[in-house]
Structure 1
Amino acid sequence: MKTKSLLFFLCFVILFFTSSFSEFRAQNANKFVVVLDAGHGGHDPGKPTQYGFKEKDVALKIVLKIGEELEKNPSIKVIYTRKTDVFVTLRGRAKIANEADADLFVSIHCNAHNSQAYGTETYVVGVANTQRNFDVAKQENEVILLEDDYEKHYDGFNPNAPESLIGLTLMQEDYIDYSILLAGMIENNFSGKLHRKSRGVKQASLWVMHNTYMPSVLIETGFITNKSEGAYLNSNKGQNEISNAIRDAILEYKKSLDLNVGENLGLTSTIKKEEAQEYNGVEFKVQIAASSKKIEPKSYNFKGLENVSREFLGSLYKYYYGSTSDYNKIKVLHSEAKSKGYASSFIVAFKNGERVQLDDVLKTTSN
């Protein structure tokens, strides 16, 4: 009798935890995942200042405040690259974001200069490296030199050499429009809501973002080397205002994606009724993901989507949904991909097996 009771109890426990785990997975399956990255940490304090402010501490406090606010939204899952004063490698930060299959990567920093420069800047990965942008990229990338065996892990990358920066743009090129959209919202909040000086959205070759396969931004929340702005960044008031401005931008960005999904779904029936818009010799596809992992292009791996193909390019596997020379048809497939949860998916074009700019294709006359 005791044996039967014990077996019954064990079965109940297993069933309880199995159902609880299944419910947990279901609740988190469609959440919008944001990775918050507090720059520097541990034996890397960031750039020193004469006023005693520490970038690693300011960045962490702002990140924790942003995360605390975002976690109040049941549709958002927040992941941190660090929650304490520890050193995390640049490649480790990117790995956390990629393994989480995040929708956004947001890295928080403070700027530094040998003058009393002030103001905010938000960076996306790009080749538009002015001398000032290169200086910022050099400062942020130099943390690599603090890592053991960095030559082995970063393929000979030299943060002090401009030529090393060119290749860093390739991994993020597919997400640049989304990254710029979020960056613009952040800077607009800094200038519009907080009335701070915005130095704008800029492009630079920053290693921490180049290896992530999702929209990514690096926010320079102000100059910690400026006496007045440094004190503001170091204050509870400043950190609350900055974190709220960034939180609002992330929520606004997510809302814009959600609205786009709804609009596209509403247009589906109209698009289907349109005549075919064929482009001879052109193959349109919807890019739904990019990953360092090799995943079988089966429907069960891609939320039920059929006709998924895979291509290895550079150091990433890219995954596409559909294939057609009809631009109206690919727009329908794009809507379907978004309805399945691929909010950051986008249309790409190929000609003779080579990737070409979509805008260039659409400028030509369809046949």
Structure 2
Amino acid sequence: MRFLQNHKINIKAKNTFVFLTIFFFLMNFSSVIAQKKYVVVIDAGHGGRDPGNLGNGYKEKNIALKVALVVGKELVKKKDIKVIYTRSSDVFIDLWKRGDIANHAKADLFVSIHCDSHTSNAYGAGTFVLGLRGNKQNLEIAKRENAVILLEDNYKDKYIGFDPNSAESVIGLSLLQEENLDKSLTIASLIQTNFTSQLKRHDRKVKQDNFQVLRETIMPSVLVELGFLTNKIEGRFLNSKRGQLKMGNSIADAIGNYINNLKLNTVSDNVVDTNGDSSILYKVQIASGKNKLTTKSYNFKGLKDVERIKVNTFYKYYYGSSSNYNEVKKSLQTAKTKGYKSAFIVAFNNGEKISVQKAIKLQ
């Protein structure tokens, strides 16, 4: 009897030991997660010998820098965010170098800050992500921002075959951020919502176009056009300390919300494989947006078996799921012939989104 009692006591002690071991392991593990620093690179557009646009006598480079510093000052108050500036003073930084700074820092987010200009009395704030599509007006904005390339030393060697004044060059840029596009759209949407809802700025929407500074980065990236210096009222607002604080704090708030979403894993694309298959699965992403469409072929230019997945506030539409990379390449070609020129391949492992390169290596 005494043996049984001692045996029970030993089992209880072992169970307590195991429980405490697991408890402290989980506590340490959670503290490691909590200690992760999210790196945000803030890029003040132009600088040094490149003043940017000079609408109404204001200098874009000065306003962009002051707003960038406001953003950074707010973000460093958060323990889990590390801020890196591409420039913190009035110096000229090559476009390729701005992206290079972010890439070497293994940044989680890149935000480039600019001011717009126009021959008309246009006004309002807009946010851009990298993309192949764009109307004529967006193309002109991209050409203006990319024109700084001509001020860089040896620019012909750095950007072989690229002419910032050529529509063909701008449209023909490859979409290197394909796998980060949805996250870029998410942060862009958060910034734009703050501009329009909190600050009541005129909404020039979230758009896609080919900015070289975004093309150089390998993480979610956005380019913000704070407003038009060529508009007297808006230019005066953006050149004021009050306006710069409002715009900077609005951007910082959006970035904070984006980082919180990352921590909650709501921005990451953890899509569950509907077949329950644990193997590598490739899909062609043909569209992404806030509109919820039925997956009938008439909504997708005749493509059948389109899959719709909701991620955060966006819906993604996939076509041609296959575990065979060569097969999904054929699906990609089909999608492009149907008019989805910006379609691209994504990969999943055990239902979790990974890079295509990693998927190929795993296979």
Aligned to 1:77: 82
In structure 2, how many angstroms separate the alpha carbons of the residues matched to 1:223 and 1:114? Answer: 10
**Alignment check: 8 A CA contact 2:282 2:325 kept:** no
1:165 alignment partner AA: V
Aligned to 2:296: none
In structure 1, how many angstroms separate the alpha carbons of the residues matched to 2:152 and 2:268? Answer: 47
State the TM-score, normalizing by the size of structure 1. 0.67
In structure 2, how many angstroms separate the alpha carbons of the residues matched to 1:97 and 1:264? Answer: 22
Aligned to 1:351: 324
Aligned residues: 266
For residues 118-133 of structure 1, what are the structure 2 equivalents within 5 Å?
A: 118-133=123-138
**Alignment check: 8 A CA contact 2:121 2:231 kept:** yes
Aligned to 1:45: 51
1:240 alignment partner AA: L
RMSD of Structure 2 on Structure 1 (CA): 3.0
In structure 1, how many angstroms separate the alpha carbons of the residues matched to 2:258 and 2:78? Answer: 14
Aligned to 1:106: 111
2:49 alignment partner AA: H
User: Could you tell me which of 186, 190, 199 is aligned with 2:191?
Assistant: 186
Aligned to 1:92: 97
* Partner secondary structure for residue 202 of structure 1: strand
Structure 1 position 34 matched with structure 2 position 40: yes
* Partner secondary structure for residue 84 of structure 1: coil
Aligned to 2:240: 235
In structure 1, how many angstroms separate the alpha carbons of the residues matched to 2:91 and 2:108? Answer: 24
Structure 1 position 211 matched with structure 2 position 210: no
State the TM-score, normalizing by the size of structure 2. 0.67
1:251 alignment partner AA: G
For residues 1-367 of structure 1, what are the structure 2 equivalents within 5 Å?
A: 30-49=36-55, 51-260=56-265, 277-278=276-277, 283-284=280-281, 351-353=324-326
Identify if the C-alpha distance between structure 1 residues 72 and 132 changes in structure 2 by more than 3 Å, giving closer, same or farther.
same
Aligned-pair CA distance for 1:126? 0.6
Aligned-pair CA distance for 1:156? 2.1
Provide, for residues 140-194 of structure 1, a one-character-per-residue CA deviation record: whole Å limited to 9, x for no partner: 0000011122111101210111221234342111111000111011110001000
* Partner secondary structure for residue 175 of structure 2: helix
Identify if the C-alpha distance between structure 1 residues 43 and 27 changes in structure 2 by more than 3 Å, giving closer, same or farther.
farther
Aligned-pair CA distance for 1:285? 7.4
* Partner secondary structure for residue 213 of structure 2: helix
Aligned to 1:305: none
In structure 1, how many angstroms separate the alpha carbons of the residues matched to 2:171 and 2:345? Answer: 23
In structure 1, how many angstroms separate the alpha carbons of the residues matched to 2:277 and 2:73? Answer: 49
Q: Where does the alignment leave 5 or more consecutive residues of structure 2 unmatched?
A: 1-31, 284-320, 333-343, 349-363
User: Based on CA coordinates, which of the two structures has the bigger radius of gyration?
Assistant: 2
Q: Where does the alignment leave 5 or more consecutive residues of structure 1 unmatched?
A: 1-25, 287-347, 362-367
Provide, for residues 293-337 of structure 1, a one-character-per-residue CA deviation record: whole Å limited to 9, x for no partner: xxxxxxxxxxxxxxxxxxxxxxxxxxxxxxxxxxxxxxxxxxxxx
2:248 alignment partner AA: S
* Partner secondary structure for residue 101 of structure 2: helix
1:46 alignment partner AA: G
* Partner secondary structure for residue 168 of structure 1: coil
2:47 alignment partner AA: G
In structure 2, how many angstroms separate the alpha carbons of the residues matched to 1:237 and 1:358? Answer: 45
In structure 1, how many angstroms separate the alpha carbons of the residues matched to 2:57 and 2:268? Answer: 50
Provide, for residues 193-214 of structure 1, a one-character-per-residue CA deviation record: whole Å limited to 9, x for no partner: 0011011001111000012100
